[in-house]
Structure 1
Amino acid sequence: MSHLFSPISLGPLALANRIAIAPMCQYSADQGLATDWHMIHLGHLALSGAALLIIEATAVVPEGRISPADLGLWSDQHAAALAPVLHSIRKYSPIKLAIQLGHAGRKASSAVPWQGGANIATGDGGWQTVAPSAVPHADGDTVPLALDEAGMVRVIDGFVDAARRSHELGFDAIEIHSAHGYLLHQFLSPLSNHRDDQYGGSLANRMRFPLQVFAAVRAAVPPSMVVGVRISAHDWVAGGWDVEQSVAYTQALEQLGCQFMHVSSGGVSTRQSIPAGPGYQIGFAESIRRETAMPVIGVGMITEPVQAEQIVATGQADMVALARAMLYDPRWPWHAAAELGASVSAPPQYWRSQPSQFKGLFGATQLVQR
């Protein structure tokens, strides 16, 4: 039996296999509102056969958007725009749905990638960014305002309100974005956090605000809703955030009720030097998995079924998450199941596509009505 296609649970959330679709920013929202693009994009990924679909980084306050075209969930209007997308997915797919909630901090107010991705100045349609310290991400960027107590309360309230809306929308899980150089990662890393108060300096102090955000989100939704965290396990810069600190953060999160860790790396510094290659981040996931009872999701240039199977079978990670590979091949789980001798869920409208040599590949889709 394939390990990749064996069931697993994230807390109370039962998953049919170990394949997740990682959150991928689409930069296609209108003032934070979901558009037809989200219906098309998420709809076809929901038919992939993966067990879990994590919707892109969704801003909890307007100034927390990476770009002006980011998805948001800071009002009931934003929830109403996203609701039809979830309804359609629920009608035709058994995939479980999570949403990644985040705040970009000093990396906010940026152009979309296909327009260069550079910081947009306040006089050019951008907005004032905030961060743990008044230190820009890159030379020439808008200098962020260092968050004061009132500013931190606003961020926490934004996460709480967005979490409640996520539950009301019927999401199965929330992933708090604490990676890739965005606000919570900025608090964690000594490269971006230069504070001299209770939120800076020591590891315990740098973890304080991200842990407060997690605790507030966990308390805002019922126990039936899973809450996990995505982290960057290493800054890839000397003197920055590293695996040992990530383990300490993971263990502190676990004590607060965290139910899974999604392990990535990098993003907080322009000085990072990343030796990218197949599975280049899986070692971080493996190190964290050894120190926690929570399921760990591994990522990082996972493109081949045998590669993913080995990661799960050898215990390097409990699940794998694919992003760009899934965009390139939205039926990657089908092809992986065929190669590994497993079966995968597919809608009956597609059963006729099953190749004769893979008889039994498709299992019936059990629709979830809400």
Structure 2
Amino acid sequence: MGAIVGFRRKVMKRIVCLGGGPAGLYAAIAFKKALPGASVEVFERNRPDDTFGWGVVFSDRTMQGFRATDPESHDAIVGSFYHWDDIDVHFRGERVRSGGHGFCGISRKLLLNKLQERAAALGVKHTFQHEIEDLAPFADADLIVAADGVNSRTRKRFAAVFEPDIDVRKCRYIWLGTKQRFPAFTFAFEHTEHGWFQIHAYQFSDDLSTVIVETREETWRAHGLDRASTQQSIEFCEQLFGRYLDGHALMSNANHLRGSAWLNFNRVLCKRWHTDNIVLIGDAAHTAHFSIGSGTKLAMEDAASLVKHVAHATDVQAGLESYQAERSLEALKLQSAARNRMEWFENVARYVHLEPLQFAYSLLTGSQRIGHDNLRLRDRQFVDVVERDLARRFGLSEPRPPMFLPFKLRGMELINRVVVSPMAQYLAVQGVPGDWHLMHYGSRAAGGAGLVVTEMTCVSDKGRISPGCTGLWNEAQRDAWKRIVDFVHTHSAAKFCLQLGHSGRKGSTQLGWERADHPLPEGNWDVISASALPYLEGISQTPRAMTLQDIEEVTQQFVRAAQLGAQAGFDMLELHMAHGYLLASFLSPLTNRRTDEFGGDIQNRMRFPLQVFEATRAVWPADKPMSVRVSASDWAEGGLSEQDLVTFARALRAAGADLIDVSSGQTVPWQKPVYGRMYQTPFSDLLRNCVDIATIAVGNIYEADHVNSIIAAGRADLCALARPHLADPSWTLHAAAAQNFSEQHWPKAYLSGKSQLERNLARAAQMIGAV
């Protein structure tokens, strides 16, 4: 690459766009509008009318943004749209329709032609059938916009700088067209002897539709499609999905029909999007799975953002940094949604046990960007049918918000699906809960949650995380807990769950609001773990690797604590096997380096945790349920695998576990979790639908809409909320009033507050409706 010039010029003179797809063309249009005097050029390797897709989908909301960037191209595109509102899901011979989704389709070729015409009218220079072998001809360019797609040569050339992360996904897909008209965006699922196939089909003109056929890689190979020509693949798809084609043929727009046209989706995200005067946009920088239809949208919005930040920047480098900061955040959000939706389709076999209505609901909310409330805004009738169906399954005569459905495990019945998460208070004295704990748990139980879970209550003094942690190894602690249990049972409809755990190598540390995970300044006790590995290298104590005697002693400590918990009157018992504490340290290969029968493969690593579970289940009352909290992912390379997780969950179910509380992480300090709304819910979804065991979803669930969506879709049976309950002990009561659910239990002393809250909310709703 030659020397880079002009980075502090106020006016750029030459801008080169590599790639003539929607991203490159839209960038050229926006730059030419912003800088009429600049030379803006587009170089494309293909001919003007070449395209390798059929239709492109935009939402109504997306088009509003395009209007603001360039009204002329917006109007030209909109004039060629085919618009629809409905989504049809065909499954097991039934069609479920949901309306109000507001999408529009356009031929990809026509879209390119409209953008080419608009760019040419502005004076953009086009060069087609031009391969870019190197960037030397553009050494005088102020900016080189790499819009050269998912297989970007520019990204590959500067891979050491851009640091692309490319994940080749599990499905194969083929992009086809047909003259069959689809009045709604159509998803259809067909089962074969080797697995499931699905189509994503939508109309984009008066007489043409896109049909994307997708299936798992192993299913694709089992049918011999890896050896099939494009024409043979088309014939296979026509036969499999013939009922939806009404006699119409499927078509490919590939240049030839020899060889396979099936592709794997590559999820691409770059750590850095620019170097010197080169910047990535669109699929060159990131990709979003076609199941949410946002690839072209993202690319064109990238272009608009790039021009906004760079066209008139006095410091182009600073402008490029601002562009990446803005767009990478949006890309991450959409990639997260696209990942969730993509994985739904990759694992469709996980959901085929659902009835067609719930199957469709699960699909529609699979990205976790669309929830119960949003679906209601789009199609109230559809959501009403879903709620009536859920109520019917639980023997209820009237529908209600899903979060207020009852739930039963063994002899325990919950009035709703809301759980108060375990939240360490660090205020116990010698393990004894006091008045603070009575207030804390009592107020949240009175606040309407169906289930309240104690903080991790430690089975021995040396099993505590900190000196302020609660415990249950003696009668004084039992009696203190019984006082709280009795209060909860007397003054609320909530059930109370005891969570037992042992801190392991993460024990003997300071209080949570001090230096968390750091050893005590003085008075430390010895710590134990699966292996002699400190949590914080050079800071934490090095634990002693547990001996066989230690294993037996700790097992008996759990048994004793469970017996005391039963005496205290708890309704449910949960064992903490997550977050890197003692039992979890055996499960993860990152913390278990043992070479005896308790180390090695997952069968050995889960031996001790299962031993503890079986021993406590044996002494816990048979009519009371037991749960296990697990870290479904360590969020670190080499950690617990998905298959390990499923294997352990199946073993727990066989041992008598009724419920799995599905958390993640905190196993090692170098974890790299991918945070977001409901970010751990997919793990709950996995276990509930693969292992057939009830689950609790946790992790950044903070709205009633989240709970309703998760429960209605069958991603979990219960939803645990922590921080919302710290801020509002009566979170559930407020959620009930906001949703006009008057049957939620309120303490008798608070009933006047209930009626006033309901009146105020009704009045506020009337005022909004009158505006």
Name the TM-score class by shorter chain. over 0.9
Q: Find the aligned partners of 2:591 and 2:459 in 1 and give their Cα distance.
A: 21
Match of 1:126 among 517, 520, 524: 524
Q: Which one has more relative contact order, counting CA pairs under 8 Å at least 6 apart?
A: 1
| Aligned 8 A contact 1:305 1:340 in 2 | no
After TM superposition, give the deviation of residue 120 of structure 1 in Å: 2.0
| Aligned 8 A contact 1:305 1:339 in 2 | no
2:629–2:662 contact (8 Å) kept in structure 1 = yes
Match status 1:66 vs 2:460: no
Counterparts of 1:1-370 in structure 2 under 5 Å? 1-120=400-519, 124-139=522-537, 140-342=539-741, 343-356=743-756, 358=758
Q: 2:642 & 2:737 partners in 1: Cα distance? A: 36
Q: In structure 1, what residue type is equivalent to 2:423?
A: M
Identity %: 39
SS at match of 2:606: helix
CA contact (8 A) 1:243 1:287 kept: no
The amino acid that maps onto 1:63 is: K
CA distance in 2 between counterparts of 1:306 and 1:227 reads 28
CA distance in 2, matches of 1:86, 1:107: 28
Quote the Cα distance in structure 2 between the aligned partners of 1:71 and 1:64.
10
Cα deviation, 1:65-105, whole Å, max 9, x if unaligned, reads 01011000011121122222222222211210111000010
Unaligned runs of 5+ in 1: 362-370
Shift of 1:244: 2.2
Q: C-alpha deviations, 1:163-195, integer Å up to 9, x for none?
A: 001111110100000111111110000000000
Q: Which runs of 4+ in 1 moved over 6 A?
A: none
- Which string of whole-angstrom CA distances, capped at 9 and with x for unpartnered residues, describes residues 215-247 of structure 1? 000001221121110111000001101332111
Residue 155 (structure 1) shift: 0.6
Deviates more, 1:140-149 or 1:87-96: 87-96
Shift of residue 11, structure 1, vs aligned partner: 2.6
Q: 1:368 maps to which residue?
A: none
For residues 711 and 443 of structure 2, what CA distance do their matches in structure 1 show? Answer: 26
Deviation at 1:292, TM superposition (A): 2.4
Query: What is the Cα deviation at residue 357 of structure 1?
Result: 7.2
Normalising to structure 2: TM-score of the pair?
Answer: 0.46
C-alpha contact (below 8 Å) 1:198/1:205 kept by paired residues: yes
On the 8 A contact 2:506/2:517 being kept in 1, the answer is no
Q: 1:151 to 1:6 in 2, by over 3 A?
A: same
Q: Distance in 1 between matches of 2:757 and 2:470?
A: 42
Shift of 1:48: 1.1
**TM-score normalised to structure 1 length:** 0.94
Larger deviation, residues 237-246 vs 144-153: 237-246
CA 1:102–1:219 in structure 2 vs 1: closer, same or farther (change >3 Å)? same
How many aligned positions are there? 359
Q: Report the RMSD for the aligned CA atoms in angstroms.
A: 1.4
State the AA in 2 paired with 1:73: L
Helix, strand or coil: the match of 1:115?
Answer: coil
Paired amino acid for 2:704: P
Q: Which has the larger radius of gyration?
A: 2
In the alignment, residue 458 of structure 2 is paired with which amino acid?
A
Cα distance change of structure 1 residues 357 and 154 upon mapping to structure 2, 3 Å threshold: closer
Deviation at 1:340, TM superposition (A): 2.8
Task: Give the secondary structure class of the aligned counterpart of 2:525.
Answer: coil
Give, in angstroms, the shift of residue 119 of structure 1. 2.7
1:356 Cα deviation after fit: 4.9
Q: Secondary structure at the match of 1:20?
A: strand
SS of residue paired to 1:346: coil
CA distance in 2, matches of 1:56, 1:186: 19
Instruction: Give the deviation of 1:196 after TM superposition.
Output: 0.1
Higher helix proportion: 2
Residue 293 of structure 1, CA deviation: 2.6
Q: How far does the alpha carbon of each residue in 1:126-155 deviate from its partner, in whole angstroms, 9 at most, with x for none?
A: 111000111111112111011001101111
Give deviations 1:296-325, integer Å, cap 9, x for gaps. 110111111112101111111111011111
